[in-house]
Amino acid sequence: MRGRDPVKVIREAVAKTLVFYYPFAGRLREMAGRKLAVDCTGEGVLFVEADADVTLKDFGDALQPPFPCLEELLFDVPGSGEVLHSPLLLIQVTRLKCGGFIFALRLNHTMSDAAGLVQFMTAVGEMARGAPAPSIPPVWQRELLNARNPPRVTCTHREYDQVADTKGTIVPLDDMAHRSFFFGPTEVAALRRLVPPHLRRSSTFELLAACLWRCRTVALRPDPEEEVRVICIVNARSKFNPPLPSGYYGNGFAFPVALTTAGKLCENPVGYAVELVKKAKAEVTEEYMRSVADLMVSSGRPHFTVVRSYLVSDLTHAGFGEVDFGWGKAVYGGAAKGGVGAIPGVASFFIPFNNTSGEQGIVVPVCLPAPAMDIFVKELQSMLKPPPVPAVVEHIATATSSKTFITSAL
């Protein structure tokens, strides 16, 4: 790719890919009962070309969210951010002074989940490298997840509870602190030591989700009697029989929720939270997904509960970092910041990451009000500190001496 312009290459590749993913070139409309549909108008997507007089090194050694100058790296084109009647994709390619470039993308999430978006981006990469068509043909088939007729809600969906914010506990918009936290093998092992033996085999996602939920709740200091919840994004593509087709690029996930009171969450050991997360994830079955679709139709597409909620999404296997536009794999691939969405501070993403020592792990961006962030950091550090080393004190006496020796054995 020496001498080739990444802006030109990627723009042409996006155009070719949209032939196969033509719904992305349309606009969303709202039908009866608040049902969303794509009007395939062929109006296209937004593409921004930019140059920056900085090098990749100017962004620092550890490339992780939140990224500086994000507003410049993905320009919010005025009037482009609405759900309805707006472009469904906004893409910006920024050339850097060192010869590298930054590819940034904003997606209307009603179109795709992380797996679907990576499938599209992978196709763009293939076209950029000269392929005549995507290796995985895209599958629309949204009817696979249609509601039943008549709809019947058979499962409990507490994630869609209509909760009033009676005590003003929605995270405020101003004075927000954004920080990222790295969890390598050492940190994960430290957290695993905090749970009882029967939970030691819990997945890293379950462990991290529980620990972060607990730390966050401690930091925000809600009333002990108030309900708090963690919403786990669960990929449900394999839950169907047969599974959703491999080329399906719509949303194929559920929002199962674990909930308890703030008092119980903060006062109990972290194993209590892990149990709740595991139970919530296990609820997602094909029947659960059918029930959610029926709830959407019968209740007019409600939004998930954001009051005293924390949403966690695992992107460690999504494959953003594997996308190759012809210049090799990215040095970072994943979310640009945490706390995105209608309510800032609600969401965190688990992103695969190599730290400056070359250690593989997970980086998690967290967004909280500044005073709460200080408490969050202290709480997390107390969980991660190494266990105290036991000291064995021995009293040694001899027949010839009355001296006492105190020795410690590690």
pTM of the model: 0.89
Q: What is the mean pLDDT of residues 94-101?
A: 96
pLDDT classification of 64: cutoffs 50, 70, 90? confident
How much is the pLDDT for 126? 98
**Is the CB of residue 370 less than 8 Å from the CB of residue 176?**
yes
- 98: number of Cβ within 10 Å: 11
322 burial level (CB within 10 Å; 0-12, 13-18, 19+)? middle
Domains of the chain: 6-143 (3.30.559.10), 153-384 (3.30.559.10)
- 268: number of Cβ within 10 Å: 14
Q: Tens digits of per-residue pLDDT, 140-182?
A: 999 999 999 999 999 999 999 988 776 655 555 567 888 999 9
Q: How far apart are CA 2 and CA 322, in angstroms?
A: 20
Q: Tens digits of per-residue pLDDT, 322-332?
A: 999 999 999 99
What does the mean pLDDT of the chain come to?
90
| b (16+ CB within 10 A) / e for 353-381 | bbeeeeeebbbbbbbbbeebbebbbebbe
pLDDT classification of 399: cutoffs 50, 70, 90? very low
How much is the pLDDT for 258? 96
Residue 397 has pLDDT above 50, yes or no: no
Angle at 137 between CA 136 and CA 138, to 5 degrees: 110
Closest residue by Cα to residue 14 from 115, 92, 114: 92
How much is the pLDDT for 389? 64
pLDDT classification of 405: cutoffs 50, 70, 90? very low
How much is the pLDDT for 409? 32
How much is the pLDDT for 288? 97
**Is the CB of residue 74 less than 8 Å from the CB of residue 336?**
yes
| b (16+ CB within 10 A) / e for 109-136 | eebbbbbbbbbbbbbbbbbbeeeeebeb
Q: How far apart are CA 30 and CA 12, in angstroms?
A: 31
How much is the pLDDT for 244? 95
Task: Tell which wins on pLDDT, 238 or 163.
Answer: 238
Q: What is the mean pLDDT of residues 67-77?
A: 91
What amino acid positions are annotated as catalytic residues?
109, 324
